[in-house]
Amino acid sequence: MSEPIRLYFDFASPYAYFALDPLAELAARHGRTLELRPILLWAVFKGQGVGNPLEKPARRAYFDLDVPRSAAFHGVPFRMPDPLQISAHLAARLHHAAIAERPDLALPLARDIFRAFFVDGLNIADRAVLAGLPSVLAFGAEAVQAMIDGADGRGRLAAAIEEAAGIGVIGSPYAVVDGEGFFGADRLPQIDWRLGGGKTPA
């Protein structure tokens, strides 16, 4: 049986938002499952001794230009969050804890979180916003808060961050296909090519 594609991503990353559905479709087309591993990119960088690249003026200027352009290219609705650079730890904990109980919610919940932040302009660091996401309403607000604050979500997120730092994740999104890393939404064609039998010359 073919290995799943693992996707490491930060919910505060617009490029992860752009890549999620195309990668899910690509994986399905190649008979692969997609495993979602939310992380906190700032924590991965800290573990690797790397600073925040967006603190460099030239990188931030390019980012501000490229993100709306990339949204238009991918044909998805988008508004730049204000503030953009937040810690998405509550959303990541919720996702890890919720899919531990309901694996079928992995994609719907990720889509809801991304839409809340990058389309609706909502604060995904707000517990009430997270409790109101469509895919978790059935759990009830009290259960959602327990998922956000509980040991399971915290532990799973910490393990994902440690794993990401250990394998050399360098940004978000970062897909691992048969042990090989692909960084960025613009690597989707290469992933498609690799899964279709493309080989790197020796």
Q: Report the alpha-carbon distance of residue 149 to residue 183 in Å, rounded.
A: 30
Distance CA 113, CA 89 (A): 12
Half-sphere exposure of 125 (CA within 13 A, CB side): 12
The span from the CA of 119 to the CA of 52, in Å, is 24
Task: Name the active-site residue from 13, 70, 135, 172.
Answer: 13
Q: How far apart are CA 23 and CA 28, in angstroms?
A: 9
Residue 188 near residue 19 (C-beta atoms within 8 A) = yes
Q: Which two tokens stand for residue 112?
A: 């809801």
Asked about 135 being catalytic, the answer comes back as no
Q: 72: number of CA atoms within 13 Å, CB side?
A: 5
**Distance, CA of 173 to CA of 38 (rounded, Å):** 10
Q: How many CA atoms lie within 13 A of 33 on its CB side?
A: 10
Both tokens assigned to 47:
């573990």
Q: Return the active site residues.
A: 13
